[in-house]
Chain A
Amino acid sequence: MSQLIARLQIRHVLVALLAIPSFYLTFLLYRSGNVWIALALLVLTCLGVFIYLNPSASTFRYLFPGLVGFGIFVIFPLAYTVYIGFTKYSSQNLLDFERSAALLRNETFPNPNAASYKFKLYAQEDGTYLLYLEDEKDPGRRFASETFELTPGVKPKTPPEPVKLNALPQGDQVEGTPLGMVQINRGKLLIPMRARQFLLPDETLVAMAGLTNFGSRERLWTPNSDGSFTNKKDGTIIRPNFKLGFFVNDKGETVGVGFRTFSGFDNYLRIISDPRIQGPFFRIFIWTLVFSGLSVLLTFAVGMLLSVLLEQKDLHFRQAYRMLFILPYAVPALLSILILKGLFNQEFGAVNTLLRGIFGFAPEWNTNPWGARAMILLVNIWLGYPYMMLICTGMLQSIPSGIYEASAIDGSNKIRDFTDLTLPLVLPPMIPILISAFAFNFNNFNLIYLLTGGGPQMVGGSAGETDLLVTYTYSIAFLDAGTNYGLASAIATLLFILVGSLAWINLRVTGKKVKI
């Protein structure tokens, strides 16, 4: 009994140790305005506390940690990606609406009549900076900014939020080390400084007007109550267009920075209707199918052949052979792929040096689409056959040897044994493994990305001849000049539906054999 109490207390302590920081984090989240996320974390924490303290929920004690991790890092990213697939979200429409409107509100032009300020930049110990301003006509008006960051030599892609300036009472000193003009220049701080705007307590914006002074600026756009903005200089009016994800003026021209917007099935329609997407999409889809199918078929054939050969009881050195044939599976795949990439190098690689020496013929592994496809398949067979060999060996060993003896009496030979006895016994249980191998290759990102990068380029398109759907989608999302997260996410969703149904079929097939 005393033991029981001791263990219970340890559990209580553990729960408290995990729950308290979690509650604290909830508080932090709430305070910084992320109410919904704070609420989700609160629910999750309470659920955890309940599960680990209440005996009736003991089953879920085993599931909770795993499912929470799975939820955050698999289900949430999936749901988020599906959601992005229904939005217009790309390098042109990057910011959310509020941020895009805020940029317009902060857009300014210099106001020559207003005050001018002397400035000093102070470096702080933690690497941030602080700006000090002093009115040139009225030295009593002094301001110190909150600390802010400057990335040397880099002009931010989107203008950062203005930094607040607070009035500095007479006699107060500014913290940090003052930087001279030389230090500012040498530290490449002028470029990011010019892009910054600062907000005085009276809501006027100031920015660098020359090398030595700051000047106040006037806001270019006046917000109206209906959500539109009026240009102070020429009186034009712009309105947000949620179809385009831009602010548009009366002439239909876009103004300012685009914003993310809900676009329904637009991305999906684009896959079907836009010839720039549709053309490569179907070619890539066919190649993805062919690549996965051939990879599975060929690795299975080689693996099966090897395992049958190595099952011959009268063969010497079987263990040594097995050990060496497994090598491509044992060496980290990433290293093997990169090594083979070097060997297949069209000009200097070992493969072509050898072929040129013996046959006087050097295939174009890198520049010819068919050469590149052949190389990918060869490399993938080389990487994938050991797995099939291991599985097939396991299956062959589970076949009772009696049936071969019986067929030997009937006067059979080895090849007939294989086609009539071994294959029919091995194939049915292999099917789920072949299906998952197909699904794996369907999304074999590493192989293509590291080996060819999708290249060679398709004629007149942004896609590559050896791109799989997964690498094509990746390049739309991250690599292309116009990164398009929305379109990439829509394709990713389609991909998931495809591969997910494969997994579901696999589950059905396996389900007959395994009781779930």
Chain B
Amino acid sequence: MTSSEKKDVTRIAISHVFLIALLALVLVPYIMVISASLRRGNFAPSGFLPDRVSLEHWKYVLGIPYQEVVNSATGETRVVKAETPPLLWLWNSIRVSVTASIGIILLSATAAYAFARLHFKFRSLTLGALLILQMFPMVLALVAIYVILDFTGQYVHWLGLNTKTGLIMVYLGGISGYIWMIKGYFDTIPASMEESARIDGASQFETFVQILLPISLPIFAVVFILSFIGFMSEYPVASIVLQARSNWTLAVGANSFLPEHQQLWGRFSALAVLSGLPITVMFLLCQKYIVGGLTSGGVKE
């Protein structure tokens, strides 16, 4: 073995040790949450194996009634069942996030097409303004958002406060980042194909729908996933707009398990695992596209 080969072996060995140590820091919290969701009682996550395994939190989250011991001396029990099954919050969240993400794709893809392919006055100015105006944090515009929804609700009931459609409408405003991302992708596609289709007699709209959209599917997948995950995690706007417990999204519901006093970690953990798992798997499956999308949107070399 030459000295440089020896150096390679130690380099690889050190890398593995370092990576595994870091990986432990990343994975341990998740393992602890899974274990906390299976442990009887509502304790903050700690330790790997639940000492007293119980499915009570899972039953609660899924809306299945279960027996709970009220008095351990007498063995008295009572039946516990969630009034609003937390599973409903996940379902609300999925409905809101999927609808809003599809809307985001429709709105930002059409706008990005105009910015990438068509010529009009103030094009680059509008594009820059979109980006800068979006920097205003939505949290601080909550007073105005509240006023808008309160007002629309008086005329169109399903667009008012405490409606999921109202929340979706608010989310649809956040398109500018995605317009930039999709425009960046459109810019990498040569316009020659569309031009020859135009010469063959296709209309502008036809070339957009039949040529540009199909080859841009990967970027739409990225936009969908990123916006979906963003909306699933969105807390402040949802907590102000949605007031009824049955209308809550996952974010609002999950946080409601953890007030300052009496934090229900067991229930929270079960809900976190149940809702986090599908999203995580979806993300990992599409990872390759997402990496491409992240790097194609902002930066061009």
Q: A residues engaging B (CB < 8 A)? A: 25, 28-29, 32, 37, 58-63, 65-67, 69-70, 72-78, 80-81, 84, 306, 309-310, 312, 314-316, 321, 323-336, 338-343, 345, 348-350, 353, 382, 387, 390-391, 393-395, 398, 414, 429-430, 432-433, 436, 439, 443, 445-446, 449-450, 470, 473-474, 477-478, 485, 488-489, 492, 495-496, 499-500, 502-504, 507, 510, 513-514, 516
A492–B16 Cα gap in the complex (Å)? 47
Contacts A62-B110, A328-B26, A394-B295 known; A477 to B140 CB distance under 8 Å?
A: yes
Q: Which residues of B contact A340 (CB under 8 A)?
A: 29
A24 to chain B minimum Cβ distance, whole angstroms, is: 10
A469 to chain B minimum Cβ distance, whole angstroms, is: 9
Q: Is the interface of A mostly helix, strand, loop or mixed?
A: helix
A499–B173 Cα gap in the complex (Å)? 19
Q: Is the CB of A80 within 8 A of B120?
A: no
Q: Looking at the complex, which one of B16, B136, B255 makes contact with A338 (CB distance below 8 Å)? A: B255
Q: Looking at the complex, which one of A25, A312, A485, A507 makes contact with B12 (CB distance below 8 Å)? A: A312
Contacts A78-B141, A332-B275 known; A514 to B128 CB distance under 8 Å?
A: no
Q: Is the CB of B280 within 8 A of A330?
A: yes
B73 close to chain A: CB less than 8 A? no
Q: Could you list 23 A-B pairs, sorted by A, with CB under 8 Å? A: A37-B151, A59-B114, A69-B172, A77-B136, A77-B145, A78-B136, A309-B19, A314-B12, A327-B30, A332-B250, A334-B233, A334-B251, A342-B36, A342-B258, A348-B44, A350-B32, A350-B45, A398-B301, A445-B236, A446-B235, A485-B143, A496-B140, A504-B132
B199 close to chain A: CB less than 8 A? no
Q: Looking at the complex, which one of B26, B110, B235 makes contact with A325 (CB distance below 8 Å)? A: B26
B215 close to chain A: CB less than 8 A? no
B22 close to chain A: CB less than 8 A? yes
B193 close to chain A: CB less than 8 A? no
A304 to chain B minimum Cβ distance, whole angstroms, is: 13
Q: A58-B204, A499-B137 are in contact. List 18 more A-B contacts (CB 8 A).
A: A60-B114, A75-B133, A80-B143, A323-B287, A325-B26, A330-B284, A330-B287, A334-B251, A335-B276, A342-B263, A342-B265, A382-B25, A394-B291, A395-B295, A445-B139, A470-B140, A496-B137, A504-B128
Contacts A70-B175, A328-B26, A349-B46 known; A489 to B143 CB distance under 8 Å?
A: yes
Q: Is the CB of B299 within 8 A of A343?
A: no
Q: Is the CB of A309 within 8 A of B18?
A: yes
B288 to chain A minimum Cβ distance, whole angstroms, is: 11
Q: Is the CB of B141 within 8 A of A77?
A: yes
Q: Is the CB of B114 within 8 A of A62?
A: yes
A363–B294 Cα gap in the complex (Å)? 37
A439–B301 Cα gap in the complex (Å)? 22
Q: Is the CB of B19 within 8 A of A321?
A: yes
Contacts A315-B12, A350-B32 known; A74 to B173 CB distance under 8 Å?
A: yes
Contacts A309-B18, A338-B255 known; A382 to B26 CB distance under 8 Å?
A: yes
Q: Looking at the complex, which one of A58, A76, A342, A449 makes contact with B148 (CB distance below 8 Å)? A: A76
Q: Which residues of A contact B176 (CB under 8 A)?
A: 70, 74
Q: Looking at the complex, which one of A76, A342, A398 makes contact with B45 (CB distance below 8 Å)? A: A342
Query: In B196-235, which residues have CB < 8 Å from any A CB?
Result: 204, 208, 229, 232-233, 235
B136 to chain A minimum Cβ distance, whole angstroms, is: 5
A80–B141 Cα gap in the complex (Å)? 8
Q: Looking at the complex, which one of A25, A342, A343, A391 makes contact with B155 (CB distance below 8 Å)? A: A25
Q: Is the CB of B175 within 8 A of A69?
A: yes
Q: Is the CB of A73 within 8 A of B173?
A: yes
Measured CB to CB, the nearest residue on chain A to B277 is A331
A496–B136 Cα gap in the complex (Å)? 5
B169 close to chain A: CB less than 8 A? yes
Q: Is the CB of B107 within 8 A of A65?
A: yes
A66–B23 Cα gap in the complex (Å)? 42
Q: Is the CB of A474 within 8 A of B131?
A: no
Q: Which residues of A contact B132 (CB under 8 A)?
A: 500, 503-504, 507
B217 to chain A minimum Cβ distance, whole angstroms, is: 19
Q: Is the CB of B294 within 8 A of A62?
A: no
Q: Is the CB of B18 within 8 A of A333?
A: no
